Amino acid sequence: MKRIGLILTASLISFMAYSQADTAKGPWKTGGNFNLQFSQAAYSFWQAGGTNSITSNGLVSLFADYEKGLYAWTNQLDMAYGLSFQEDIFNKTDDRFDLNSRLDRKFTDDWNFSGIFNFRTQFTNGYSVPGTTEDTLKVSGAFAPAYSMLGLGFTYKPNDKFDLFLSPLTGKFTIVTDARLSAMGAFGVEPGEEFRGEGGASLSSSYKTKLATNVKMQSRLGLFSNYFENAFQFVDVNAEVLFFLKVNKYITANVSLNLIYDHDVRFDTNNDGNADAPRTQFKEVIGVGFVYDFGDTKKK
């Protein structure tokens, strides 16, 4: 008997788990949240067409802040990973490890002497062709690249929503541990080298606010220019904007927009097999699902 059925019309099953803790004890304040999204679609003899797919994305965000007297130390760790499975092809939708730390020494109400440390990389390999695991098509991996920045400067922090860090003394370090990518001189390292150091100036800022009763926004901007190679002619940019929308107690949505420009990261713009020019990188992720809030816990 001919099967017509098992039709899941634009079937979307979304699940989001979200937990948040905000614990204050003495000079320390720690907390974080966990976010998990899952979506699925399946089709059988569906006239309009469609591709069976499963997608999941996870995000862990943790913080640990210290403040006592004239000193403050803020730490933020963001880890994200996502996978999409379509028919028999796996592909990444997100892959991020980002650690930020800043030590402040107040000298006016709004200004601090500051030192910053940043480290970011990814967890797994990335490929130029979705679904492949061919080593010759690998374009990135864990510690290939990894980026680290150390800087000394000043922070302007007029309120809890906004801060701006200016550093005339910043070191930027690029690490490429993959032998093949290192031999190609990927990500700006000299061919065959695994490490590249740069000295320059940097600016970073963050801003968070409530746009409406159920809409929150937070953004981050990072800029860096190398003093010794075309100073201020080429500026590396890393910008991110996040929107959090809470429909009701159980349903939420978030939108993530990320833009990166690094003059040392080249792409094959002529399709001739040679990475010849930088490009502006852009990523957008939208998630919708159910939410369960474990609430805040505060201790004195």
Confidence (pLDDT) at 22: 62
Confidence (pLDDT) at 249: 67
Residue 136 is classified by DSSP as: G
Per-residue pLDDT for the chain (300 aa), expressed as one digit of tens each? 333 333 333 333 344 444 555 666 688 888 877 777 777 777 776 767 777 888 888 888 888 999 999 999 999 999 989 888 887 788 888 899 999 999 999 999 999 999 999 999 999 999 988 778 888 889 999 999 999 999 999 999 999 899 999 999 999 999 999 999 999 989 989 999 999 999 999 999 999 999 988 888 999 999 999 998 877 888 999 999 988 888 776 677 778 899 999 988 888 777 766 777 888 999 887 776 655 444 343 333
Interatomic CA distance for residues 186 and 282, integer angstroms: 19
Residue 141 is classified by DSSP as: B
Confidence (pLDDT) at 166: 97
Contact 177, 128 (CB under 8 A): no
Contact 74, 63 (CB under 8 A): yes
Residue among 111, 194, 123, 216 at smallest CA distance from 156: 111
H or E element that contains 241: strand 236-246
Alpha-helical segments (H) within the chain: 179-183
Q: With 0.85 as the threshold, say if the pTM is over it.
A: no
How do 281-290 and 89-106 pair as beta strands? unpaired
pLDDT in tens, 10-38: 333 344 444 555 666 688 888 877 777 77
Q: Say which residues have a Cβ less than 8 Å from residue 154's Cβ, sequence separation at least 6.
A: 111, 112, 113, 114, 165, 166, 167
Confidence (pLDDT) at 21: 56
Confidence (pLDDT) at 295: 37
Contact 62, 77 (CB under 8 A): yes
Instruction: Output Rg (C-alpha) for the chain, integer angstroms.
Output: 22
pLDDT in tens, 253-280: 778 899 999 988 888 777 766 777 888 9
**Burial label, 187 (beta-carbon count in 10 A; 0-12, 13-18, 19+):** buried
Backbone dihedral angles phi then psi of residue 128, each to the nearest 5 degrees: -75, -20
Integer angstrom CA distances of residue 276 from 25, 78, 175, 286: 53, 32, 20, 32
Interatomic CA distance for residues 210 and 213, integer angstroms: 7
Kindly tell me the sign of the dihedral angle through the C-alpha atoms of 224, 235, 261, 245.
positive
Mapped onto helix, strand or coil, the DSSP state of residue 66 is strand
Contact 88, 119 (CB under 8 A): no
Interatomic CA distance for residues 109 and 204, integer angstroms: 20
Contact 13, 56 (CB under 8 A): no
Structural domains in the chain, CATH included, are 15-290 (2.40.230)
Interatomic CA distance for residues 286 and 139, integer angstroms: 25
Confidence (pLDDT) at 290: 55
Confidence (pLDDT) at 92: 87
Amino acid at 86: Q
Residue among 127, 44, 141 at smallest CA distance from 91: 127
| Tokens linked to 117 | 């440390």
